[in-house]
Amino acid sequence: MTAHTASHLLTRGAHRPRPGLNVLGEMTLAPGRVHEFCGPARRTLAAMVAARTEGEVFWIAPSWTLGGPHPDGLLRFLSPARMTFVSPRRPEDLFWCMEEVLRAGVVPLVIADLPAPPALTPVRRLHLAAETGGQASLGLILTPEGAAQGVESRWSLAPRHHGEEGEAWRLERLRARTAPRAAWTVAPGRGGYVAEAV
């Protein structure tokens, strides 16, 4: 790492952490870090986060899997014109793509839709890439089960729709460095979605 690259990581000034991105109620995501979303509605949660950001969103998913987001399905959250979809052909390229985008620090949100949880080393490399990028980007990894090691926080979203009452979800904070486990009910409200503690 060159002195120029690391200049914004180590300074003589006092460390003042940047405020996190508030998504729903108490759900706040630290910038410059990688968070994990799991559960059957993990892509919906990622779209909710994307709606709270401005600028481009990169969605990285392997070319050999099905089930990624359809642009028409994203319309209720954000304009599909903000999305850049990347489909690497090799497993190792998934993390390389995410690292490069995080390191550039010019895209506010980078999402990697993974078929399985990554090992600890790739997650550490992603955190370093985000820090190198000036903590301007937020990294999300989506996994089916939620077992990635080394993530800043882990969240799960599952549908709890009730007939005529409309759509609703159960949001759970499964892991966070500075907060205990908790759960909320998420439903449409005035001006967006509202989270109420369970």
* Per-domain residue ranges of the chain: 22-154
Cα 64 from Cα 170, distance rounded (Å): 30
**Mean pLDDT over each residue of the chain, to the nearest integer:** 87
pLDDT tens, position by position, 73-130: 888 899 999 999 999 999 889 999 999 999 999 999 999 999 999 999 999 999 999 9
Please name which of 99, 102, 95 lies closest in space to residue 133, comparing C-alpha atoms: 102
Question: What is the predicted pLDDT for the residue at 25?
Answer: 86
pTM for this structure? 0.87
- Which stretches of the chain drop beneath a pLDDT of 50? 1-8, 10-11, 13-16
CA geometry: angle 77, 79, 81, nearest 5 deg: 150
Instruction: Give CATH superfamily name and number for 22-154.
Output: P-loop containing nucleotide triphosphate hydrolases (3.40.50.300)
Cα 161 from Cα 60, distance rounded (Å): 28
Question: What is the predicted pLDDT for the residue at 127?
Answer: 96
CA-CA distances (angstroms) from residue 36 to 31, 147, 155, 161, 184? 13, 9, 6, 23, 17
Cα 75 from Cα 51, distance rounded (Å): 10
